[in-house]
Amino acid sequence: MKKVKQLKLTAIYCLAIFSAVSCSKSEQLKDEKLSSFMLGGIYFIHGYGGVSDVESMMSNANYTTNEQLASGYKEIFEFPFERTDAAGAKRMLKSAWDITNKESLLESLEELKTRDYTYKSWDYARVANNVCMGYASEYLTKEESLEILSETLVMAKEKYADWDTYFSDFDKGRVEWNSNDPEKESFETLAKTITKGEKSIYNILPLNPQE
């Protein structure tokens, strides 16, 4: 079993319903696959208990260098929902999105990617989360999932200069979706802190790395 994933995701079905310390150019890494999953990383980190809990997971695994931290985040971000409970994933997609098969999932994802909306990162994050749920439900293959995520990452890079702006818009979109959501405060806090600190994957892998 993977080193970090031994610490179980506490809210696997978290569906869409400190001063910043920037890495220098030489410290920045590039991993387009991981970056595509990072579009929905706020859901995954929330599911693991928040920024502090994830940082503790990395520390307990003795991940300290940027390369090690990136490896650790790949373990918890890339396809975080297991196919061992495909039935549960299907139930959640139906309950939250009325998605009952591959066709309805693809239609929903396309709508999120292409609809005209001010706070697009709210849509992009849900694409990433639902792609992972779609993979867990066995509606999508791994190859199909990676293709959709790659396309979505390109769109996010074109619209947003950095992760801070991305998550600021995410929070605005989530509040507009439901200003009375009981998890509003926790997501608002997470949106403001997810990119902070030297060990944040969002500093190690900028949305648009410096050339």
pLDDT value for 27: 56
Closest CA to 124 of 157, 80, 164: 157
| Contacts for 204 with CB less than 8 Å, ≥ 6 apart | 23, 27, 28, 29, 66, 69, 70
pLDDT value for 2: 47
Closest CA to 171 of 46, 61, 19, 4: 46
DSSP secondary structure letters along 29-73: ---HHHHHHHTTHHHHHHHTT-HHHHHHHHHHTT--SHHHHHHHH
pLDDT value for 13: 41
pLDDT value for 28: 63
Please say if the pLDDT value at position 172 is more than 70: yes
User: How confident is the model over 104-123, as pLDDT tens digits?
Assistant: 999 999 999 999 999 999 99
Would you say 126 and 35 are in contact if contact means Cβ atoms under 8 Å apart? no
pLDDT value for 15: 40
Q: What's the rounded Cα separation, in Å, for the pair 170 and 120? A: 7
User: How confident is the model over 77-95, as pLDDT tens digits?
Assistant: 999 999 999 999 999 999 9
pLDDT value for 11: 38
Would you say 173 and 34 are in contact if contact means Cβ atoms under 8 Å apart? no
Please say if the pLDDT value at position 26 is more than 80: no
Would you say 76 and 3 are in contact if contact means Cβ atoms under 8 Å apart? no
| Contacts for 123 with CB less than 8 Å, ≥ 6 apart | 112, 113, 115, 117, 173
